[in-house]
Amino acid sequence: MNLNGHEVDGFLKAEGRKLVNGAGQEILLRGVGLGSWLLPEGYMWRFPEAGDRPRRIEKMVHDLIGEGKAKQFWDTYYDVYIAEADIRRIAEEGFNSIRVPINARSLLQDEIGPAFDERHLALIDRVIDWCRTYRLYVVLDLHGAPGGQTGANIDDSLRDQPELFTDEANKRLTVEMWRMLAERYKDEWIVAGYDLLNEPLPEYFAMYNDQIMPLYLDIIRAIREVDDKHMIILEGAHWATDWSIFDKKPDEGNLMLQFHKYWNNPDTASIQKFLDKRDEWNVPIYMGEGGENNIEWYIGAFRLYEDHDISWNFWTWKKLDTINSPCSVNMPEGWDKLVSYLEGGAKPESSEAERILWAYLDNLRIEACTYHSKVVHALLFRPAIRIPAIFYGYRGAGISYGVQQPVSHELGFRSDDGTDIRFTDSQREKPNFHPGRGLAWEADEWLHVRLAPGDWLAYEVNAVSEADYAVTLRAAAPEGHATAEIAIEAEVAGRAELQGNDWQTVTICDVSFSHGNSRIIVRAVEGPLSLEWIAVG
C-alpha cells in the first residue's frame, strides 16, 4: 500500500506555482533518488578517487575478474540494486515519487552514439512499470550527459572537463537522446517529468554558463516535437544552486525549476532567491536533490521545503555502509582490499576479488540491507521522532511561532524570526568555539531556543494512524522555575513543571494524535523556558 498513492493520478503538470495531478488536485512531490544505480558513484561504494565514477569502477571490475565475469557482475548489479522490493518499500513508506539518475553512456551502444542500448532502456521501462503498480511518479534525470555536463566524477566525465559544452556532437547527441526518451515515454502518465541536465557547470567552468539555456531550449523543442504532455524540469548552474542563468522565461508552459541543497543552513534566507524566482516566473520549484547529512538537519531542511510548498527528493535511497540513508548496504568482508588496490596496493587474486564482489551483490538486495527507519521518519515527520527546538515551523509569525518581544542574534540562522536562539553552554566550552564561523549541523545540542512567558513554538508531526503518543521535552528553567504547556492544535494536552537551571527531560504521556498532520504547540506559561528538543513517540 502507498500511503500517498491517491495523489498519484494522471499526468503531472505545472499550473502557476503549483503542481497538479491528472485529477486537478494540488500535489507536492516527496521522493527519493535512486543514486548509484544506473550511474554508480564511487563515494557510495566507499572508493577513493581512482574508483570515483562509473568508468573507473568498471575498469577495476574488468581488471580484477575479466571481461566475461565483469559482464555477469554488471548485469546482476543493475538487476538487484533497484528491484521491485525497493519500489514497493518506497511506496509503503509514504513517498509518492522517485528520481532516476541516468548515465547517457549506459544508454548508448558505444560512447559516441547514436544507437541506443535496449537492455538498459528496458531497466527504466521495468522501474516505470513497478512505479505504476505501486503509485510512484517517476522523474527521469539525465545525470551524466554525453561528454559530461559538469566535468566531474558525478557525470562520469572522461577527462574532468564539461565536454557537453565544448563539443557540438555531444550537444546533438543529448538532444537526440531526449527526443528518443520523450518518444518512448510520451504516453506514460506515471512519468512526472524530464529533468534535462543534472547540476550543469560548477562555478569553475562558469565560462560556459551562457550555453546552458540555449541547450535547454534545443532539448525542449526536440521533446515537444514528439511529446506535448510531460513537464520540463530545469536545473541551475553550480550544483543547481546558481539560478542567474534563468534570466528570461522560456515560452514553455509546463515548466518546473530545480535547486539542490546540502549542508548549509536550513532556513528561509538560504532559499529566498529560489522563492523569488518562483514568484517572478510563476512556476513550481523542486528541491530535486538533498541529503548526505544527519537526521537533525533533515528534520529542519525538509520541514523548510514543506512549509514553503516546495516539492522535494531525498538523496539517496541506498548506499554502502551508511547511517544517513534509508538503506545501508552491509560492507562485504575484504572490501578494504579493493580500496587498497585502487590506491595502488596489491591486486587481489581473481578468485578473491570475485568472492568480494559477489558478496557485495548479495548485500545489495533490500532484504539484506540494514534499514534505517529513523531517516524515513525524519523526512516524513513521522513518530517516533525527535525534533530540535530550532526547527519549529517556517510559515512565519502567528502560525509557526509567537514571541512577545523579538530579539536579535548573530548566528546567521533564522535571524529574521526574532526568536531567541542560543548556543548551549556545552558548545561554548568546546575547543575552538567561535559563533561567527557558522553552524556545522553536527549535533542538535549546539543550539536551543529560549522562550519568555507567553512565547510559543509550533512543530508538526505526521501520524500514519490515530494513536496516543508520549510527548517529551528536553528543557531547562534558566531562572530556577518554568512551566511548559503542550497543546495539539488548540487543545491543551498537558503541562510540565521544571525546577532548576539544569537540562532535564520531562514527558507527557498518552497524548492523542489524529491521522495525518498534527500541530504541536509548546508554550512558556511561566518562565523563561529553554528548549533543546521535543520528541514524539
Q: What would the grid cell of residue 72 be?
A: 555477469
> For 157, what's the count of Cα atoms within 13 Å in the CB-facing half-sphere?
18
Q: Phi/psi of residue 511, each to 5°? A: -90, 125
Beta bridge pairs of residue 497: 483
pLDDT of residue 433: 39
Q: Closest Cα partner for 47 from 342, 350, 353?
A: 342
pLDDT tens per residue, range 473-511: 999 999 999 999 999 998 999 999 999 889 999 999 999
b/e sequence 250-275, b meaning 16+ C-beta within 10 Å = eebebbbbbbbbeeebbbbebbeebe
pLDDT of residue 439: 59
Q: Write out pLDDT tens, residues 240-249.
A: 999 999 999 9
- The CATH architecture one would assign to domain 385-536 is Sandwich (2.60)
Contacts of 445 (CB under 8 A, 6+ apart): 424, 426, 427, 532
∠ CA 392-398-402, rounded to 5°: 60
Residue 109: which pLDDT band, with cuts at 50, 70 and 90? confident
pLDDT above 50 (res 437): no
CB atoms within 10 A of CB 44: 18
In the chain, where are the structural domains located?
5-380, 385-536
- Mean predicted confidence (pLDDT) in 142-165: 97
- 273's enclosing H/E stretch is helix 268-281
Architecture of domain 5-380: Alpha-Beta Barrel (3.20)
| Residue 389: closest CA among 213, 202, 529 | 529
Distances (CA, A) of 304 to 29, 282, 522: 14, 20, 19
* Amino acid, res. 528: P
Question: What is the amino acid identity at position 465?
Answer: S
Q: Extract long-range pairs of 119-127: CB within 8 Å, 24+ residues apart.
A: 120/38, 120/78, 121/184, 123/38, 123/78, 124/38, 124/100, 127/34, 127/82, 127/87, 127/98, 127/100
The structure's pTM equals 0.96
Q: Are the CB atoms for 116 and 78 separated by under 8 Å?
A: no
pLDDT at 430: 43
**CA–CA gap between residue 67 and residue 360 (Å, rounded):** 18
* Percent residues over pLDDT 90 in the chain: 91
Mean pLDDT of 409-413: 85
pLDDT exceeds 60 at position 436: no
Least confident among 36-50, 76-90, 182-196, 406-420: 406-420
